[in-house]
Amino acid sequence: MGLQFRKTIKLGPVHVNLSKSGVGFSIGRKGARIGMQANGLQRTTFSIPGTGIRYVKTKSWKKK
């Protein structure tokens, strides 16, 4: 595994994620969050806080 870098800046319900691959962001609260990753993938996450149980749906905006 190589060197990795990620920094998260929290601005209320918005998280801005800075990484080697670019800038991503997410918005939401505990239990529900939607975001756009630096590589163009949209990720929607629903979870039950404190249990480790979560549902994640990833959608690509790139045309096939």
pLDDT tens per residue, range 13-41: 999 999 888 899 999 988 999 999 888 89
Residue type for position 43 = R
In a domain, 1, yes or no: no
**Confidence tier at 63 by pLDDT (50, 70, 90):** low
Count: domains in the chain = 1
Cβ-count burial 1-32 (b if 16+ within 10 Å, e if not) = eeeeeeeeeeeeeebebeeeeeebbbeeeeee
In a domain, 56, yes or no: yes
pTM: 0.70
Residues 6+ away with beta carbon under 8 Å from 5: 19, 20
Q: What is the pLDDT of residues 47-56, one digit of tens each?
A: 998 899 999 9
Q: Which domain holds residue 29?
A: 6-60
